[in-house]
Structure 1
């Protein structure tokens, strides 16, 4: 079977939190993460864990309206971002369609490797996955 990309690894994981300051202290002081990018309009902070990013998204912030868990006490992971080799966007669209997988959204986003094109899908169990190609240009906020 041929694929439009090769797996590279996990780029980032997005955790939903309800106290961003407390979460940042935990990831910094307990796990040794160092500060990453910040997105104040979204209520989002990123921390580096080695070469991967952990994204902390404050569900109490107005910018996180799409991230709020559907049920109190429900999920606390918004999505996992899968890093890939370069891919042709049309080939990936065709590949996903051939497997009956709907593309929920396409976007240009930052990640552990910089800014790149992303395709958001759901697996068979409802888990949101972001398929992200390599950086098209560095994020520039080192």
Structure 2
């Protein structure tokens, strides 16, 4: 079975300049705030068409988990791909056939709402989230 990727669900940007980044995406690029941050998480989610841009304050709970401040030239925590026409079990089996042990699925919020997803690593160590479109 080949995976049928239908789009990017969301991207996550880490920052030590939360207000500046939110202002840029919401005021300049017209991405409205969909979910405002909770103090403990330090997360703001903005709508970008069918996708979301998540901005994480490095001093919040999620930001502290990811390490220090972003550095140039890379400022990407992970990206999420929405997988069509597959259940979480089929995605998990697909990952196993490619010699990766997938972590357990967790329910996370993304552009399509709440749903199961997993995090895997690419060969360069980038984190890729796979989110089932049908679950």
Q: Shared fold (TM-score greater than 0.5)?
A: yes
Q: Which runs of 4+ in 1 moved over 3 A?
A: none
Q: Name the residue aligned to 1:109.
A: 108
CA contact (8 A) 1:105 1:121 kept: no
Unaligned segments of structure 1, at least 5 residues: 137-142
CA contact (8 A) 1:114 1:135 kept: no
Q: TM-score, normalised by structure 1?
A: 0.82
Q: Name the residue aligned to 2:16.
A: 18
Classify the secondary structure of the residue corresponding to 1:77: coil
Task: Report the CA distance shift for 1:6/1:21 in structure 2 as closer, same or farther (over 3 A).
Answer: same
Matches of 1:94 and 1:115, distance apart in 2? 22
Q: TM-score, normalised by structure 2?
A: 0.86
CA contact (8 A) 1:115 1:135 kept: no
Does structure 1 residue 27 correspond to structure 2 residue 28? Answer: no
**Offset at residue 88 of structure 1 (A):** 2.6
**Offset at residue 38 of structure 1 (A):** 2.6
Matches of 2:47 and 2:5, distance apart in 1? 21
- Superposed CA RMSD in Å reads 2.0
Matches of 1:19 and 1:77, distance apart in 2? 15
Matches of 2:112 and 2:62, distance apart in 1? 24
Task: Report the CA distance shift for 1:24/1:48 in structure 2 as closer, same or farther (over 3 A).
Answer: same
